[in-house]
Amino acid sequence: MKRNKKIYYWFGFTILMIIEIFIASYIEDDFIRPYLGDFLVVILIYCFLMGLSRISVFKGLITVLLFSFAVEFFQLINIVKVLQYQPPKIVMIILGSSFSVWDLLAYSLGVFTCLLLEYTRNIYAVPST
């Protein structure tokens, strides 16, 4: 599957970062912040990775899914307590504090959405001559 131009990934990353900051700063609910935020953060990470690297679409998708699942499983084993280390607040925000199967579903749906967008772009891309 052919990649997009890096500028499109950076554009997506920027828009999603603004949305994520807005959600983190102003939304206090039981759906948008915990689930839509997790769904979008996976897409944000994918855009960042693809904007930085030259890896293939599939490697990017797998890398992001494995990374997000790893973060969630670190929450399950309470990695901060296991390591007996109190990281800075920003690290705690990224790591989160509680394991949820619903988060794994949100991450999976985010990666699947990236796959769908990449696939659709490849189908409808104008062939170069």
Q: Could you give phi then psi for residue 18, rounded to 5 degrees?
A: -60, -45
Distance CA 37, CA 32 (A): 6
pLDDT (tens digit, 9 = 90+) per residue, 16-33? Answer: 999 999 998 999 898 998
- Alpha-helical segments (H) within the chain: 6-26, 37-52, 57-76, 79-83, 89-95, 101-124
- The per-residue pLDDT for 78 is 76
Nearest 5°: phi and psi at 6?
Answer: -55, -35
φ, ψ at 79 (rounded to 5°): -55, -35
- Tokens of residue 124, six digits: 């409808």
Q: At 95, is the pLDDT very low, low, confident or very high (cuts 50, 70, 90)?
A: low
Residue-wise pLDDT tens digits, 57-83: 999 999 999 999 998 998 888 766 676
Percent of the chain with pLDDT over 70: 86
How far is residue 37's CA from residue 19's CA, in Å, rounded to a whole number? 9
Lowest mean pLDDT among 51-60, 67-76, 103-112: 67-76
Structure token digits, residue 68: 């997000």
Radius of gyration of the chain (CA): 16
What is the residue whose two structure tokens read 């609910």?
29
CA distance 16 to 41: 8
